[in-house]
Structure 1
Amino acid sequence: KKADVGLFSGNVAIPAITESLVFTDPYFEAEMNHHTPELAETVAALRANALLKAKAQRMLLKFTANAETMLHGDLHSGSIMATDDSVRVIDPEFSQYGPMAFDLGMAVANFLMAYFSQPAHRSASELEAYQAWILEVIDECLEHFETEFRHLWHTERRGILYPRALFEEQGHDSAPACEALLDEIREDALAFCGIEMHRRVLSLAHNADFEEIEDTALRAELEARNLKMGEELVVNARAYRETQALLALARAHNR
């Protein structure tokens, strides 16, 4: 794993794009930023939140200093090609090593942005069911991530971390250590999620679910819901580690 990390050590330019466009630029008037004009008041309030900016920079520190796992690095819904029986993930040019929570947070953020944008894309008769389906997708993704993580913990844990010599071979159950790590991953994923919800509205690369809404007043209203939920997630990620709390927060902002 350390040798693999070394293969990426000279790749400075690509991570620098994420470091600026995702973690820093949304929170000040960066040169390449742009946003829906009617959002100005909401954006000003967001950038006035010093606690939010400090937490975003803390997550940037984790992103730059933590080489836990191979990342896709830009895992949004446009990079996931799904059919009834297969899934392919494309566009890996931002791959690098980073925090285990990063890709998970990015993906959930893009599902949430799809959720918030739906009043502009669905008729009144189909809106409620479609939004409920998106929240089910989030629930299933988080559930399957943790199920697979636990499976790999018990079947593939042969590296330098949490060795069996410290746990199973001494008659100790390693499951509590696994659950504690999953709690940390979930909390970090939600903070990364909130930051991604901000950058896709305020930074250079925007989200098509919002960007294709021609009525800018309506777009701004829906983007504001997204920005405010993202702010809550970045600042108070720990409070929403339980999936139902996260989904309840989305429903509250959607109202």
Structure 2
Amino acid sequence: MLQYQALNEYKAINYARKLRNMFKTNAELVCEEIGDGNLNLVFRITDKSSEKSIIIKQALPYARVVGEAWPLTLERARIESQALNVQQSICPGFVPIVYLYDSTMALTVMEDLSSHLIMRKGLVTRECYPHFACHIGTFLARTLYLTSDLALPSQMKKEKVVQFSNPEMCNISENLIFTDPYFASETNPFNPLIADKVVELRENNQLKLEVAKLKEGYLTHAQALIHGDLHTGSIMVTKESTKVIDPEFAFYGPMGFDIGAVIGNLLISFASHEGHTIDLQERMDYQAYLLTMIEQIWTYFEKEFRDLWEKESKERMAVIPGFVDHYLLQILVDAAGYAGCKMIRRIIGLVHVWDMESIDDPSLRAKAEKLALSIGKELVLERQQVQRINDITSLVRQLTG
């Protein structure tokens, strides 16, 4: 009987050879491990003659970032492959195509996106992506609306909640995003030059109360099938194309969480250019571009969401005047709060981000990190004052001075 075993490059090639209708029998295959994530093994298998390639992504039974002392469920591989299939059916072209899911080996064989770049890296070098706002706004609207009670019969939606129950991965987010950053811990490393700011945040009881409210929403609001970890390291881009990857944290949660994750990570990039971009005009221009992108993302999201509300709604109460406006405002308010939580967590929690870590000068990095923490804090505290997307970007402009 076949049993799970972690692959290496040699084993990955042998596995690929056995895949039906994937490579020719005599193909000369080469393999490269390309994973830089915290939880999985990722291999690219290429036929040297035809240059046809695939990705094999395998879940490990522990977190690579910590080691075997932090065991993890292999069930997340099923969640990821099934979430990708749902997203592909709803919004084709915005996720990698899944060729095979192997439950025994906890792996997924999928489309190779070598022509794309991890978005986080592009943002560090001030790349512009003219279609990204439209792409991600549309993706978010379709994947969130069409997996919710608004579009699905009640019983089917409840069955989907069970199908995508993901308690172990959710527990990671519950701790790393909403709890651990607000208490002293060895697993919360941070730049010593921001120690005063960290103490200030951890002693701010109003902030912690608002984070607790947001955590309660994350725990209880099974609104739609969310990606669950939609940061700029889970998005691959070219100038023309956008692909969302790695939905292993997917579950039924609050719609605003995914939108907030995108906004929060774009604002981390915004803050990081205090250290990356020394020329003042260049920095101001790119930061303005990022804020405009955030505004455009919401604009595209809202337009598509309203169109779906009008054309795809299965909820009879959806026709009540004012309901769609109320619904969208709650998503936006949630998104602001979750964006703030995401920003704080990436500065003073476990697993930092390349945007900040690639700033070599500790004092410049501290300046960028303090700005990110200030923005994150105010987004959490002031989220109930948000009425439109420009309220978020205006707040950022005020804090930046």
Aligned in 2, Cα 1:123/1:39: closer, same or farther, shift over 3 Å? closer
Matched, 1:60 2:215: yes
The answer to whether residue 288 in structure 2 is matched with residue 142 in structure 1 is no
Could you tell me how far 1:123 is from its partner in structure 2? Answer: 4.2
1:39-58 equivalences under 5 Å are: 39-58=194-213
Structure 2: how far apart are the matches of 1:91 and 1:225?
28
Q: Distance in 1 between matches of 2:200 and 2:277?
A: 30
Greater strand content: 2
Report what 2:383 is aligned to: 237
**1:117–1:222 contact (8 Å) kept in structure 2:** yes
Residue identity matched to 1:87: T
Partner of 1:171: none
Partner of 2:239: 84
2:392 and 2:189 mapped to 1: Cα distance?
28
Which residue matches 1:118?
Answer: 273
Instruction: Name the CA distance, whole Å, in 2 between partners of 1:231 and 1:252.
Output: 14
User: CA shift at 1:45, angstroms?
Assistant: 0.7
Amino acid at match of 1:134: L
Tell me which structure has the larger Cα radius of gyration: 2
Which one of 182, 188, 204 corresponds to residue 334 of structure 2? 188
For structure 2, which runs of at least 5 residues remain unmatched after alignment? 1-156
- Hey, what does 1:5 align to over in structure 2? 161
| Higher relative contact order, chain-length normalized (CA < 8 Å, sep 6+) | 1
Change (3 A) 1:175 1:136: farther
What's the counterpart of residue 201 of structure 1? 347
Residue 82 of structure 1: how far off its partner (Å): 2.1
Matches within 5 A, 1:6-45: 6-9=162-165, 11-45=166-200
Deviation, 1:13, is: 1.1
Count of aligned residue pairs for this structure pair: 244
Alignment RMSD (CA, Å):
1.4
- Tell me the alpha carbon deviations over residues 56-79 of structure 1, each in whole angstroms, 9 at most, x when there is no partner: 111111111111100111101121
Q: Which runs of 5+ in 1 are unaligned?
A: 169-173
The 2-side partners of 1:81 and 1:246 are apart by 25
Q: What is the CA-CA distance between 1:140 and the residue it aligns to?
A: 0.7
- Tell me which amino acid in the other structure corresponds to 2:341: I
Aligned position for 1:75: 230
Does the Cα contact within 8 Å between 2:275 and 2:367 map onto a contact in 1? no
Match of 1:100 among 228, 243, 255: 255
Is this contact kept in 2: 1:233–1:240, CA < 8 A? no
What amino acid is the match of 2:187?
M
Return the offset for 1:38: 0.6
Separation in 1 of the partners of 2:286 and 2:321?
37
Moved more, 82-91 or 226-235: 82-91
Which has the larger share of helix?
1
Amino acid at match of 1:106: A
Identity across the alignment (%): 38
Task: Map 1:150-169 to 2 at 5 A.
Answer: 150-158=306-314, 161=315, 163=316, 166=317, 168=319
- Relative to the length of structure 1, the TM-score reads 0.91
The CA distance in 2 between the partners of 1:187 and 1:244, in whole Å, is 12
